Structures are given as C-alpha cells and as structure tokens.
C-alpha cells in the first residue's frame, strides 16, 4: 500500500460515499470514511426515506375519505404527529445502524468527524488528526439553498427541520416549486394543514413536461393547497405564536411555519478545495469528468456535490462506477440517458425520458400520445382527480423517448417503463404488449391517436372501459 495511511479516504457517508467505500473495500482496499452528521446521508436520514414515510402517512387522509363510497364507516379517525415523528425516527435509526453494520462488515472504518482536504493526498479531521490517502473521494452531498437574505430568514425552516417539528403546523407556507417543495406541500396538506405555496414564477416543476406542470397545479388546488404565484417572500416576522410573512407585493400571510425549499447547493464550502486546486463549475459544484475525477488526479467526487443528476440511485451508481474503475480494474461510467424519477405529491408524478419540449429542442420530430381519464377508484369515492399519461415518440424510428404520468402508482409505472426505454422500445412495442386489466397502466399500451401538442384531449375515458 505504498506510503499512504489508506488507499481510499471518503468524505461523506451518504448514498455515493457509502457505496464507493464498500465496493472499494471489497476489492481489498484499505478504506476510511468520515461523516460529520449521521451515516446514511441525506437520503436515509433527512431525504427520500423519511419523506416517503411522511407521504404514506399523509395518504391515509384520502383513503379514509374515499372509503365511505365503498361502504366503510371510518368516523372518528384522528392523526397524531408526535407518533409519526417518533416512529419515523425509530426506523431511521434502524436504517442508520444497518448502514454502519454494512460498512464495518466490509472492512471500512467509520470516522465520526468532519474531514477537510489539505493536499492532493492529505485530509485533516475536526480533531486535528492528519491522514494520507492514495485516493480521496468527495461525497459531501448538498444542503438547502436559503436564497437571498431577507429579514427574518432564520425564522424559516428547511426540509432538514421539517422532519423534526415538535408540533404539527396547522398552517404552513412553503416557498418553492421544485419536487421537494411540492412533496412537502402535498404531505402537509394530506396530514391536515392549511398549505400555501409561494413561488416566484407562474409554473411549477421546472424541467418537467409542460403538460405535467400545468396539470399538477390543478390537482394540488383540488386538494385545497393555495398558491401565491409570481410572488416572493420579503420578510418573516414572529407573530403571536406563529409567523407573519411579508410578500413582495406588500401583503401579509400568516402561518405556524414557513418552509424554504427553493433548491439545494453543493457542499463545497470550507472543504479546502481551493487550497489543492479542485475546480468548481459555474454552478459551484465540483467539476468532474465521466470517471468522476476532479481537476486533481488523486481526488474524485460523486453525488450531489457534483450536481449532475441529484438523485440517490445516481449517486450510488457514480460511487460504484468509481470504485470498480479505480480499485477493481473494471472501468465503466454512468449512463445518464434513462433516469426515471418521481414526485411524491398527491397524486404522484412518474417520469422517464424526455419532455416533449426537450425532444423538439433536440431537433427531433415527435408524435405525442396522451390520455386523461378518471381513475376507477374515483367512480365510487367521488374524488375529483384525473390520471394523465403522455408518450413522446420519435417520428424517425418510432422509439418512445418520454413517458410522463400523473396518478396513483405513477412512480412504480415509471420504474418499469424505464426498462422499456432502456431497451429502446418503440411505440409499436408498447402497442403489441398485452394490457393488464383493470389497471391504469394498461392505458399506456392502448394509446391510440396522435395529438399535436396543443390538441385538446378527447372526451375522457376511464380505466373501467378498456379498448374492447
Ligand atoms: C427532502 C429530500 C427528499 C429527497 N427525495 C429523494 C427521492 O425521493 N429520491 C431520490 O432519488 N433522491 C431524493 N433526494 C435526493 C437524495 O437525497 C440525494 O440525491 C442523495 O442523498 C445524494 O447522495 P450523496 O452521496 O451525494 O450525498 P448525501 O446523501 O447528502 O451525503 C453526504 C454526506 O456527507 C456528509 N458531509 C458533508 N460534508 C462533510 C465533511 N466535510 N466531512 C464529513 N462528512 C461530511 C453529510 O453529513 C452527509 O451525510 C431527496 C433529498 C431531499 C433533501
């Protein structure tokens, strides 16, 4: 192992760092991993996992309401926020333990301290200990972006604190229109809060297909969520037992909590990057090549700190590819072409592949297939909600370039659709796939009739009546 203390020193035990450390150790490398907070990182501790648990909790509200139409009497149900938080904390602690155990079983030494870089092969721990490493991997993730400063900004919470609120906010203002903002808006509304979304633009979910963006706002309004669009927060002030929020047009809104969710920024500050010459890109993320190597040959970076595609499975793949390449002699790099993604709002969004506008911007001629129908469950529950599905198909070779879904189960459908897109499935492949009835997903393989993108949809169908 030449003259270094370790072969690999990983900074950050989140999705990317943990995978890289475990795989590298599996190849016989001597590995240490530093974590300043909790092992598991954002996804496990204060991201995907606790969020999905909260989403599950919030969805019982609709289930209870819908149950009446199916003959159930569920009067007198109530919700207890402290119970949810405590049970969630227990599960997160269990998962953290599992992550620790996996690392230790793989032979990785966990150092519960902040680490910074001192040289191309040197790191310094918070307690002053210095260590040398043949290779350093930066996997420090990202943190909430607090945006421009304004009076009382410190009175707002971020997603980090939203997981630990002592009392349930009966009224909450959420600033932002990305997936994290909308997921929290949706889950708080489901749990019974009065929710207002404040967004500086007039559309939600930048980067998503325009049809999805337009429809989601209608669905959220249907669920009682209020919107203040083209608005920003100018100040937050303590007011009685809650907060007063001053909007840029001078109006005041009142709430128990104000959640700031306008994006995330890579964790690069104070890491010592400038001292060793690790370059950042224009967005302030660590610049890396396809092998996740930074401008310093012995230093690599994976995950959100590189701001490529900020999702857990992507960070994990980047970490895995790095370890296989550098320690396993099996070089490969991550393919970013087909990445399924979901927004766990109510109803949820599932997406894989290109939005229509992006496909067209690439110079492709595309055919659009859409359907919009009332889900079968809504026929008895009486809930006002729609399922929406859209396929973007390349005219040149009939390949399905994008699948865009809103409705129950959309995340699960998008994951499976990703297999089809990975196999370069054509619209003809979708068409000759046997439908599974009765399901919502069957509409994806029975879509007929192209739409110019501005065409209105035909009179809605429901999944009750398949194309017989
Ligand atoms: C609310 C929320 C919901 C999300 N939901 C989803 C979802 O549904 N699906 C999905 O795919 N993704 C989701 N994400 C994104 C996902 O969590 C991230 O993409 C993923 O965690 C990135 O992994 P990472 O390894 O790059 O960084 P992280 O998981 O953030 O890990 C970085 C770790 O480094 C530690 N660290 C930082 N600096 C240092 C230092 N100097 N020394 C030691 N340790 C340090 C941090 O404490 C952290 O534990 C969500 C994120 C949030 C915030």
Position 163 pLDDT exceeds 90: yes
User: What is the mean predicted confidence (pLDDT) over 71-88?
Assistant: 96
Amino acid 148: pLDDT: 84
List the Cα angle 253/256/260 in 5-degree steps: 75
99-128 pLDDT per residue, tens = 999 999 999 999 999 999 999 999 999 999
The structure's pTM equals 0.95
Q: Which helix (H) or strand (E) holds 71?
A: none
Instruction: Please tell me the distance between residue 360's alpha carbon and the centre of ligand 1 in angstroms.
Output: 33
Percent of the chain with pLDDT over 70: 96
The pLDDT mean for the chain works out to 95
**Whether the Cβ atoms of residue 430 and residue 444 lie closer than 8 Å to each other:** yes
Burial of 233 (0-12, 13-18, 19+ CB in 10 A): buried
Confirm or reject: Cβ of 37 under 6 Å from ligand 1. yes
**Distances 392 to 358, 389, 425, 455 between C-alpha atoms, Å:** 10, 10, 12, 14
**Whether the Cβ atoms of residue 310 and residue 145 lie closer than 8 Å to each other:** no
Alpha-carbon distance of 287 to 281, in angstroms, equals 5
Confirm or reject: Cβ of 15 under 6 Å from ligand 1. yes
Instruction: Please tell me the distance between residue 455's alpha carbon and the centre of ligand 1 in angstroms.
Output: 41
User: What is the mean predicted confidence (pLDDT) over 141-160?
Assistant: 94
List 121, 320, 437, 451, catalytic entry: 437
Residue 98 neighbours by CB distance under 10 Å: 13
Alpha-carbon distance of 9 to 23, in angstroms, equals 13
Q: Phi/psi at 21 (nearest 5 deg)?
A: -65, -45
Give the mutation target among 48, 116, 351 for probing the ligand 1 site: most ligand atoms within 8 A of CB.
48
Alpha-carbon distance of 444 to 427, in angstroms, equals 10
330-349 pLDDT per residue, tens = 999 999 999 999 999 999 99
Q: Whose CA is nearest to atom 48 of ligand 1?
A: 41
Residue 361 neighbours by CB distance under 10 Å: 10
Nearest to 223 by CA among 196, 246, 200: 196
User: How far from the centroid of its chain's Cα atoms is residue 330's Cα?
Assistant: 29
Instruction: Please tell me the distance between residue 14's alpha carbon and the centre of ligand 1 in angstroms.
Output: 6
Q: Whose CA is nearest to atom 20 of ligand 1?
A: 312
| DSSP state at residue 157 | B
Position 2 pLDDT exceeds 70: no
Q: Whose CA is nearest to atom 42 of ligand 1?
A: 114
Nearest to 332 by CA among 348, 351, 347, 319: 319
**Whether the Cβ atoms of residue 307 and residue 266 lie closer than 8 Å to each other:** yes
The larger pLDDT score, comparing residue 357 to residue 454, is at 357
Nearest to 285 by CA among 392, 442, 139, 184: 139
Instruction: Please tell me the distance between residue 266's alpha carbon and the centre of ligand 1 in angstroms.
Output: 10
User: What is the mean predicted confidence (pLDDT) over 58-86?
Assistant: 96
User: How far from the centroid of its chain's Cα atoms is residue 298's Cα?
Assistant: 30
Residues 6 or more apart whose CB falls under 8 angstroms from that of 313 comprise 339
Confirm or reject: Cβ of 35 under 6 Å from ligand 1. yes
Amino acid 333: pLDDT: 97
User: What is the mean predicted confidence (pLDDT) over 126-142?
Assistant: 98
**Contacts by 358-365, CB closer than 8 A, 24 or more apart:** 359/392, 359/394, 359/401, 359/402, 364/394, 364/395, 364/396, 364/401, 365/394, 365/395, 365/396
428-468 pLDDT per residue, tens = 999 999 999 999 999 999 998 787 765 656 544 444 433 34
Amino acid 464: pLDDT: 40
Q: Whose CA is nearest to atom 2 of ligand 1?
A: 47
Confirm or reject: Cβ of 41 under 6 Å from ligand 1. yes
Residues 6 or more apart whose CB falls under 8 angstroms from that of 249 comprise 231
Nearest to 224 by CA among 196, 247, 201: 196
The larger pLDDT score, comparing residue 149 to residue 461, is at 149
Ranges of H-type helices in 106-209: 159-162, 179-190
In this structure, the strands spanning 257-260 and 171-175 are parallel
User: What is the mean predicted confidence (pLDDT) over 359-385?
Assistant: 95
Give the mutation target among 39, 43, 110 for probing the ligand 1 site: most ligand atoms within 8 A of CB.
43
Q: Per residue in 111-127, is it b (16+ CB within 10 Å) or e — as a string?
A: beebbbbebbbbbbbee
Q: Whose CA is nearest to atom 45 of ligand 1?
A: 12
Does the active-site annotation cover 437?
A: yes
Alpha-carbon distance of 400 to 450, in angstroms, equals 13
Instruction: Please tell me the distance between residue 212's alpha carbon and the centre of ligand 1 in angstroms.
Output: 26
User: What is the mean predicted confidence (pLDDT) over 207-212?
Assistant: 97
232-289 pLDDT per residue, tens = 999 999 998 899 999 999 999 999 999 999 999 999 999 999 999 999 999 899 999 9
Alpha-carbon distance of 148 to 23, in angstroms, equals 40
Alpha-carbon distance of 41 to 21, in angstroms, equals 14
Confirm or reject: Cβ of 159 under 6 Å from ligand 1. yes
The token duo for 103 is 């690392």
């Amino acid at each position: 192992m030449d003259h270094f203390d370790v072969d690999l020193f990983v900074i950050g035990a989140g999705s990317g760092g943990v995978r890289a450390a475990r795989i590298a150790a599996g190849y016989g490398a001597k590995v240490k991993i530093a974590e300043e907070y909790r092992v598991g990182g954002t996804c496990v501790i204060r991201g995907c996992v606790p969020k999905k648990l909260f989403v599950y909790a919030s969805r019982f509200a609709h289930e209870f309401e819908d149950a009446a139409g199916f003959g159930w009497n569920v009067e007198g149900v109530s919700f207890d926020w402290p119970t949810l938080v405590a049970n969630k904390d227990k599960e997160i602690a269990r998962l953290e333990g599992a992550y620790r155990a996996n690392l230790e079983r793989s032979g990785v030494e966990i150092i519960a301290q902040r680490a910074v870089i001192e040289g191309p092969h040197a790191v310094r721990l918070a307690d002053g200990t210095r260590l040398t490493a043949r290779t350093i991997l930066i996997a420090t993730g990202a943190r909430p972006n607090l945006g421009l400063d304004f009076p009382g900004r410190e009175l707002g919470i971020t997603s980090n604190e939203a997981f630990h609120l002592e009392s349930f906010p009966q009224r909450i203002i959420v600033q932002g229109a990305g997936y994290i903002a909308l997921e929290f808006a949706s889950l708080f509304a489901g749990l019974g809060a009065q929710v207002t979304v404040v967004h500086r633009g007039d559309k939600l979910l930048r980067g998503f297909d325009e049809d999805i963006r337009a429809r989601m706002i209608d669905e959220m309004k249907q669920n009682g969520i209020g919107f203040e669009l083209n608005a920003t927060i100018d100040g937050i002030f303590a007011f009685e037992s809650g907060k007063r929020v001053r909007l840029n047009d001078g109006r005041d809104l009142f709430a128990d909590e104000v959640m700031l969710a306008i994006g995330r920024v890579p964790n690069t500050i104070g890491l010592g990057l400038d001292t060793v010459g690790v370059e950042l890109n224009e967005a302030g993320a660590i610049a890396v090549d396809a092998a996740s190597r930074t401008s310093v040959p012995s230093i690599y970076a994976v995950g959100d700190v590189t701001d490529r595609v900020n999702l857990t499975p992507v960070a994990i793949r980047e970490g895995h590819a790095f370890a296989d390449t550098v320690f396993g002699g099996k070089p490969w790099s991550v393919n970013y072409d087909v990445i399924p993604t979901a927004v766990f709002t109510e109803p949820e969004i599932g997406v894989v592949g290109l939005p229509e506008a992006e496909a067209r911007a690439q110079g492709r001629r595309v055919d659009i297939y859409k359907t919009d129908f009332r889900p079968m469950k809504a026929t008895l529950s009486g809930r006002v909600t729609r399922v929406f599905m859209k396929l973007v198909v390349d005219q040149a070779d009939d390949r399905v370039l994008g699948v865009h879904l809103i409705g129950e189960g959309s995340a699960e459908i998008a994951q499976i659709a990703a297999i089809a897109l990975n196999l370069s499935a054509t619209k003809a492949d979708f068409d000759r796939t046997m439908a599974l009835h009765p399901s919502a997903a069957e509409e994806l393989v029975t879509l007929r009739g192209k739409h110019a993108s501005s065409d209105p949809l035909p009179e809605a169908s429901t999944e009750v009546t398949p194309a017989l």
